[in-house]
Structure formats: structure tokens, C-alpha cells
Structure 1
Amino acid sequence: MSATIIDGKAFAAEVRGKVAEHVAELAKKGIKPGLAVVLVGEDPASQVYVRSKGKQTVEAGMESFEHKLDASTSEADLLALVDKLNNDPTVNGILVQLPLPDHIDEDKVIGAIDPAKDVDGFHISNVGLLATGQKAMVPCTPLGCLMLLRDHFGSLSGKSAVVVGRSNIVGKPMAQLLLRDSCTVTIAHSRTKDIEDVVRGADIVVAAVGRPEMVTGDWLKPGAVVIDVGINRLPPAEEGGKGKLVGDVDFASASEVAGAITPVPGGVGPMTIACLLANTLTATCRANGLPEPEGLTA
């Protein structure tokens, strides 16, 4: 069999379109969502990502506030900026781009963000709310994965799901979201015994382990739906060349067994920024006592 390709790029465009429609309705009420992104240092990948976030924020009709700080910026100065953004009524969402320089405590910075403006969903308050089934800001990548799965299946109730990876950013919140949608969830990781057999029992496989092409076709149940969160660059085949981008799933073998699969690139990646915009919209609606946008939240 040959798997259906889940087009995250096209779905993300639909999400951004829905966000823009809601933002236009808010504008009629005199409300304009604002997203502040803070970048410390000059990491090339982070710079590209921040530029893309800013561009898509403006295209959705939102206000984009970019704060680019030197790598030598002190922890105290960064915390002072976060406090300023917390108290700025024009800012509805705050995102501090990770990783931060070594001299800055990431946990302290994330903990300083107002949980209501924490559009990354990393604040411990939002983590706890998600884990206990309450209203929370949800991390963007897991939210994007959930949207793709809901679109494919309709209802996830009763599905068996395996999340490969236990990170705080993807693995753990992904498992919580699947539980909330009534899946039976297993988290597999580097210490899982007979991991291939564990994965092979799943209707849904979410691979978020950070190892290139780790999950192969023979790990999968025929017809399983595979969401590949990984993005890894393989070494170039020749000197001066550009290495190939691959996921945590061996796409060639997996697509012969799976029922549906996300590609890398063009799968989960585009959904992350789309969900960042959705979270900013949700935060704006909550701040103004308005109904949350349907289909754009967990």
C-alpha cells in the first residue's frame, strides 16, 4: 500500500486563513491582537524562524513586536523586558525564542511570562492546567499535530496512540492532548524495551525523538497514521553540499506501510507557526472576555 500524504503546508494555510478572518472580526470591535517575539543572540536558524513568524503575524492582520537583543544581554535585562511586555495591553502573546545563551536560565525566563500571554504553552501553570484537563495555552507543535489528526480521523476516541519521545516541548504535551481526545496513550523513549513492538500496536504514531529516520516501516501497524515531528539535517553527500532534511521516520519504508503520513519538510513544521498565531488569537479573545475561536484550540 502507499500512504496518503498529510499536507501540513496546505492545512497550515487554512489555519492562518481562519485566524485572519477572526482577526478581521476583532478589528470591528477595535481589538488588534499583538504578538511579541524576543530573540537573544544571532543564531541563524532562530533568526530565520523569527522573520517568518513576524511576516505571518502581519499577514494575519496582527501587530508584530520584535525585540532583538545582543547575546551578551543579561538575565536581569531580559526579565525586565518580559515584565514590560506582561504589562503592555497591546501585547497579547509573548514568545521568547529558545535556546537562550548559556548565562541565562531558560526556566526562570519562561516562568516570568504571564501564563495568559504564554503562547508557547511552556509556563509551568499552563503545563499543569493541560495535565489536569483544564483550559490552558497549549504548545504549538503538539497542537498542530492534534489538528492534523482530528482532520484526518474526525474523532480520535478509542484510538491507540504511541508518542515516541518524552520532551517537555512535544512528547509530554502531545500525550496529554491525545488523552484528552480519549486515545489510549503510550509514551515510548530511549529506555523502552522492545520499542518496535510497542510502536507496532498503535493506530497513531507521533515521532518526536530527534533521531534521523529512527522509525522504519517494519515498526508500524499496516494502516497506521504517522505524524513525524522530527527535523534533522543529514551530512552532505559531498563536500560543500547541503545535507538532506529528514524526519524521525524513514519516509520511504514507512509510507509503504502507513495509511497516512506527514512528510518532512512540509508536514508538521508549517503548523507550528500557524498554531502560534491561533494561540495569540485565543489569548486575545480570553483577555477580552470573548468566545474562543472554534477549531483553533485544543
Structure 2
Amino acid sequence: MTKLAEDSRQDQPRAARIDGKAFADKLRAEVAVDASRFAQEHGRQPGLAVVLVGDDPASQVYVRTKMRQAAEVGIASFPHLLGADASEAELLALIDSLNRDDRVDAILVQLPLPASINEKVVIEAIDPAKDVDGFHPYNVGRLSGGRAALVPCTPLGCLLLLQDRLGDLSGLKAVVVGRSNIVGRPMAQLLLNADCTVTTVHSRSRNLAEECRQADILVVAVGRPGMIGAEHIKPGATVLDVGINRIEAAEGQGQLVGDVDFAAASAVAGALTPVPGGIGPMTVACLLRNTLTAARQRVQQPQG
């Protein structure tokens, strides 16, 4: 550990805590108002189809949470639970039927899928207009071109928190740690579209700490607990920790931690998201927001 990191641990934390849960509560309340207005205008609720393949416990929890929150804001949910032995053809047939179902404005296929199913093929089978996760190549391309698109929920949640905290992001230096298709790449594109100067660093990058220390905005999404410490952070920077890692704590108890060493980073950063309670709640809230966005876009366009 560097001297900077050691000294930082001795200081009292000073970073403001960015409360993603509170912001997500506010966002869901706004979606509820808009969903009610949509239902009054169009005679039906916005509709979200959630598809789960297999019996992964974590995925089951995520799906239950999404459906419960959808119901709370006035979005109709259509759950489809397939067994672990479901074939790719069976899943594709279900997606085709959901694409043609006028009650369904948004389709979410919970990932990961069983190894026997090609995730890329499944994502590309979803109607881009109903691609609530923003993973379809059509939406990826529109985002890359700076055009309106359905955007992956976690990066969208990060952007909303940054805009709420910092206002206009134009001209700020942003560093994204991680280059996954789910978070890193779309996050970098969103920041670029917001007129930030953007650098993406990853496992092959050199001088990671030096690159990160240039950032006014640091977004970390790699899945490695505590890999970002005080030595990686520019004093006063805004740090968003997207990582959710379960580690063994005292007495064998599990503990959720992020990719950022929260105690060390708090002594240097200007603002920081905690884990849990930071980015996690924003992901589901943005899923609901995306569902409403997809519903509005569909009623404004002729249905083929």
C-alpha cells in the first residue's frame, strides 16, 4: 500500500455519500405518476415481460424485486419462468410471441442464461423497441451515434446520479474502469455524449492509478472487491462504485462490498456511492423508467 493510502486511512472520512436509494425512490415516484397518466390516456398500463430461465437463486430474487416494484408504480408485469432444461428454441419462440404481444412494451431476459443457450442470439431476437435492457445491437449503435436509444439500466442510473450531483458534466474528465458491454462501454458512451472527456481503462491498461487520478468522475465496474484505493482517486473527485461483491466477513458472515475501498476512498473523494445502497437501487428504478419510455415510443409509432 502506498503512503497516500496509509495516510488516507488515518484521516476521518470526508466524502459526501451519494444516496442511490433515496434518488431511486424519487425516480420511482415520478415513474408512478407518469405510468398513471399513460394508463388514463391509453386505457392500459405500460407492460413489462420478465423472462427467467433456470432456478438461479440470485436471479429469482432479482426477478421478484423487479416485478414487485413494477406493480408498485403501476406497470403491468408478465413473468415467464422457464425450467433449467428449456431449449434455446423454446426461449426464442417465447420472445417471438412477446414481440408480437401488444400488451408488452418491454422485454427483459434475466441474465445469465444457461450455458446451452446462446446469449447473443437471444438478445438479438428481442424487438429493439422492446429491448428494455438496451443490449440489442440496434440500441447499442444508436447510443454510439449519439442518438436517442433505450440505454442499459445501470449506466443510465449512474448518469442520472452524476447529473443530480454535478449538474452540467460538459468538459469534465471521466475515467471508466471496466469495459463490459453491460456497464463499462455504454457508461463511457453516455459520458461522451454528455460532453465529458472520457478514458476507459481495463485489465490491459498501464499505470492504472495514474490514469484514475486524472478523473473528475471515476466510475468503477470490474467485479474485484476493494481494488480501487485512495491512491487511485483525485482529491475531490466524484466516485461511482458499480461493483457488488460478496466476501466472507467475521464469523463466516457474508458481506457485500464494492470495487472501491470505501474507507480509504472516503478520505480523498468529494463524493462516493456506498455498496450497498448506491448504484444497485438505481438499476431497477431505471428499468421501470425504460419501460415507460418504451411504452410511450410504441404508442407514438404505427404498429406493424
TM-score, structure 1 normalization? 0.95
Equivalent residue for 1:82? 95
- The match for 1:206 among 210, 219, 227 is 219
- The match for 1:37 among 27, 40, 50 is 50
1:278 matches 2:272: no
Higher helix share: 2
The runs of at least 4 aligned residues of structure 1 exceeding 4 Å deviation read none
The whole-number CA distance in structure 2 between the counterparts of 1:133 and 1:242 is 45
- The match for 2:40 among 28, 39, 44 is 28
Amino acid at match of 1:283: A
- The match for 2:191 among 164, 171, 178 is 178
The whole-number CA distance in structure 2 between the counterparts of 1:218 and 1:255 is 12
The whole-number CA distance in structure 1 between the counterparts of 2:136 and 2:36 is 29
The whole-number CA distance in structure 2 between the counterparts of 1:26 and 1:111 is 28
- What is the percent sequence identity of the aligned residues? 63
1:265 alignment partner, SS class: coil
The whole-number CA distance in structure 1 between the counterparts of 2:176 and 2:162 is 13
- The match for 2:278 among 264, 267, 280 is 267
1:116 matches 2:129: yes
Q: Give the deviation of 1:242 after TM superposition.
A: 2.2
1:249 matches 2:274: no
The whole-number CA distance in structure 2 between the counterparts of 1:18 and 1:288 is 20
- The match for 2:63 among 46, 50, 53 is 50
Structural mapping, 1:119-268, within 5 Å? 119-238=132-251, 241-268=252-279
Equivalent residue for 1:287? 298
The whole-number CA distance in structure 2 between the counterparts of 1:82 and 1:173 is 24
2:203 alignment partner, SS class: coil
The whole-number CA distance in structure 1 between the counterparts of 2:155 and 2:226 is 20
1:288 alignment partner, SS class: helix
The one-character-per-residue Cα deviations of 1:150-204 (angstroms, maximum 9, x if unpaired) are 0001100000000000000000000000000000000010111110000001000
Amino acid at match of 2:253: K
Superposed CA RMSD in Å reads 0.9
1:37 alignment partner, SS class: strand
Q: Give the deviation of 1:218 after TM superposition.
A: 1.6
1:172 alignment partner, SS class: helix
5+ residue gaps in structure 1? 291-298
2:248 alignment partner, SS class: coil
Equivalent residue for 2:117? 104
The whole-number CA distance in structure 2 between the counterparts of 1:113 and 1:149 is 30
TM-score, structure 2 normalization? 0.93
The whole-number CA distance in structure 2 between the counterparts of 1:52 and 1:234 is 23
Q: Give the deviation of 1:236 after TM superposition.
A: 3.7
The whole-number CA distance in structure 2 between the counterparts of 1:42 and 1:114 is 25
Aligned residues: 288
Q: Give the deviation of 1:34 after TM superposition.
A: 0.3
Equivalent residue for 1:293? none
The whole-number CA distance in structure 2 between the counterparts of 1:219 and 1:76 is 47
Equivalent residue for 2:4? none
The whole-number CA distance in structure 2 between the counterparts of 1:122 and 1:27 is 27
Amino acid at match of 2:15: A
Q: Give the deviation of 1:235 after TM superposition.
A: 2.3
The one-character-per-residue Cα deviations of 1:88-144 (angstroms, maximum 9, x if unpaired) are 000000000000011000000000000000000000111111001111110000000
